[in-house]
């Protein structure tokens, strides 16, 4: 049974189900927790929220005199926040661009401060994680697709933003709760913070690492966990992803070579999201792989990923993710610009090249799921086999 009370009436032993007001108005980023000690109680009373809901089946009750409202009913399904109203791809692309740019600056500053030995405060990133969660819920493709586009010199920072968005999207596909989605997003944003302690000449090396350099790089998960713990951050689910996102189902990962039964679901999610963004992004030493081709390659790496998690990840992105280069039955090449949720094998594409005449054609938007459309995708195309330099611009600008 849930009861709504004043925050001033809260006491140790109560289980907080929800804080009243927007996520942005209070300092807690966990929405459900047990008040176990005085510091937590003091933080709750000073968090900025005036009222809260307690679950008396999971914690102690409050005297009737202190009760604002009591309801004997199951927990109500939360209403969809106004800032999560579904948006079109074009609408969300504009919002996602602002979020991506702001997130990139914030993560860059976090890494800079960490390199200078300053304490990291993950809770300061709660509003940013919330914005990313909201964007993914409105139209996940926009921010995820944009986050994949990054300059080589900003890879370390934007990679964290991309993995955050991918974790939220994957969590949604897996049916994670609201709180779990936020944890997944925070884990994605923080997963590589240990690289702030990696020498720049190793981190930004435009070529293959030597064995010694790779050993230095392999230290970043453990370094990241240590840095966060030293800052006072104690959310174990996030710390677990930071330390274990390079573990493998085969048991051959690092830093702890965990067997599969000791790798958490969030860490398994982190492994998939981290690798996908890494291989689809341009790096100083290689061009990013095509999104659809990357998913196919990942599926072939036996023992690397949790197969069920990877299947859910593919469903969350679509068989042909936005930005994928595909060949149509008509002999034309196209780039995927948006998914059709009702038919994942028939996305919206932009046709731009004829393989029969070997010339570029005027870009044409084509909805492969639309009634009367006679064309279809017959396969993906590896970008390295074609000299196209404007594929990203094609899907980003539908007015071409």
Tokens 């390295």 found at: 384
User: How sure is the predictor about 123, in pLDDT bands with cuts at 50, 70 and 90?
Assistant: confident
Per-residue pLDDT, 134: 92
Q: Contact 44/16 with Cβ under 8 angstroms?
A: yes
Q: What is the mean pLDDT of residues 176-205?
A: 94
pLDDT band at 370 (very low <50, low <70, confident <90, very high): very high
Per-residue pLDDT tens over the stretch 277-293: 999 998 877 888 999 99
Q: Using one digit for the tens of pLDDT, what is the confidence trace for 17-42?
A: 877 765 444 556 555 778 888 888 88
Which range is most confident: 3-7, 59-63, 200-204? 200-204
Quickly count: other Cβ atoms within 10 Å of residue 140's Cβ. 23
Three-state SS annotation for the chain: CEEEEEHHHCCCCCEEEEECCCHHHCCCCCCCEECCCHHHHHHHHCCCCCEEEEECCCCCCCCHHHEEEEECCCCCCCCCCHHHCCCCHHHHHHHHHHHHHHHHHHHHHHHHHHHCCCCCCHHHHHHHHHHHHHHHHHHHHHHHHHHHCCCHHHHHHHHHHHHHHHHHHHHHHHCCCHHHHHHHHHHHHHCCHHHHHCCHHHHCCCCCCCHHHHHHHCCHHHHHHHHHHHCCCCCHHHHHHHHHCCCCCCCCCCCCCCCHHHCCHHHHHHHHHHHHHHHHCCECCECCCCHHHHHHHHHHCCCCCCHHHHHHHHHHHCCCCCCCEEEECCCEEEEEEECCCCCCCCCEEEEEEECCCCEEEEEEEEECCCCCCCCCEEEECCHHHCCCCCHHHHHHCCCC
Read off the pLDDT of residues 130-155 as tens digits, 9 standing for 90 and up.
Answer: 999 999 999 888 899 888 888 777 88
The average pLDDT across 317-322 equals 91
What average pLDDT does the segment 311-323 reach? 92
The percentage of the chain sitting over the pLDDT mark of 90, rounded to a whole number, equals 56
Q: Range(s) for CATH 1.10.3210.10 in the chain?
A: 86-317
State residue 80's pLDDT score. Answer: 55
**Per-residue pLDDT at 69 exceeds 50:** no
In the chain, pLDDT over 70 holds for what percent of residues?
Answer: 90
75 pLDDT exceeds 50? no
Largest CA distance in the chain: 82
Report pLDDT for 28: 60
CB–CB of 28/43 below 8 Å? yes
Which residue do the tokens 């004043």 mark? 6
In terms of pTM, does the model score above 0.85? no
Residue 62: predicted pLDDT:
79
Tell me the C-alpha distance between 41 and 45, whole Å.
6
Tokens of 313: 């990840």
Topology of domain 86-317 in CATH is Hypothetical protein af1432 (1.10.3210)
pLDDT one-digit tens code per residue, 223-262: 999 999 999 998 999 999 999 999 999 999 999 999 999 9
Confidence of residue 357 (pLDDT cuts 50, 70, 90): very high
Does the pLDDT of residue 76 top 70, yes or no?
no
Confidence (pLDDT) at 21: 63
pLDDT band at 44 (very low <50, low <70, confident <90, very high): confident
């Amino acid at each position: 049974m849930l009861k709504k009370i004043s925050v001033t009436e809260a006491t140790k032993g109560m289980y907080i189900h929800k804080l009243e007001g927007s996520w942005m108005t209070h300092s807690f980023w966990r929405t459900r927790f047990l008040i176990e000690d005085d510091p937590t109680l003091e933080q709750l009373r000073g968090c900025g929220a005036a009222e809260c809901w307690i679950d008396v089946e999971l914690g102690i009750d409050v005297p009737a005199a202190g009760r604002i409202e009591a309801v004997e009913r199951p927990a109500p399904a939360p209403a969809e926040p106004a800032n999560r109203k579904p948006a079109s791809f074009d609408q969300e692309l504009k919002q996602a661009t602002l979020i991506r740019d702001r997130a990139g600056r914030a993560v860059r500053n976090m890494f800079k401060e960490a390199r200078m030995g300053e304490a990291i405060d993950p809770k300061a990133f709660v509003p940013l994680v919330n914005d990313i969660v909201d964007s993914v819920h409105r139209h996940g493709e926009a921010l995820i697709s944009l986050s994949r586009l990054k300059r080589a010199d900003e890879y370390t920072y934007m990679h964290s933003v991309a993995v955050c968005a991918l974790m939220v999207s994957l969590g949604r596909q897996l049916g994670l709760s609201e709180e779990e989605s936020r944890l997944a997003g925070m884990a994605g944003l923080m997963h590589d913070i240990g690289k702030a302690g990696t020498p720049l000449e190793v981190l930004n090396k435009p070529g293959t690492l030597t064995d010694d350099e790779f050993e230095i790089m392999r230290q970043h998960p453990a370094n990241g966990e240590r840095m966060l713990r030293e800052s006072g951050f104690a959310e174990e689910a996030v710390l677990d992803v930071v330390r274990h996102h390079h573990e493998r189902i085969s048991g051959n990962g690092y830093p702890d070579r965990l067997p599969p039964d000791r790798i958490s679901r969030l860490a398994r999610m982190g492994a998939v999201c981290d690798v996908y963004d890494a291989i689809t992004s341009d790096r100083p030493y290689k061009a990013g792989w095509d999104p659809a081709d990357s998913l196919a390659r990942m599926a072939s790496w036996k023992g690397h990923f949790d197969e069920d998690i990877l299947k859910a990840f593919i469903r969350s992105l679509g068989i042909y993710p936005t930005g994928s280069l595909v060949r149509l039955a008509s002999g034309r090449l196209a780039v995927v610009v948006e998914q059709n949720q009702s038919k994942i094998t028939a996305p919206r594409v932009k046709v731009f090249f004829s393989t029969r005449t070997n010339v570029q054609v005027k870009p044409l938007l084509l909805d492969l799921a639309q009634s009367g459309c006679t064309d279809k995708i017959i396969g993906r195309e590896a970008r390295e086999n074609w000299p196209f330099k404007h594929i990203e611009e094609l899907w980003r600008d539908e007015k071409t």
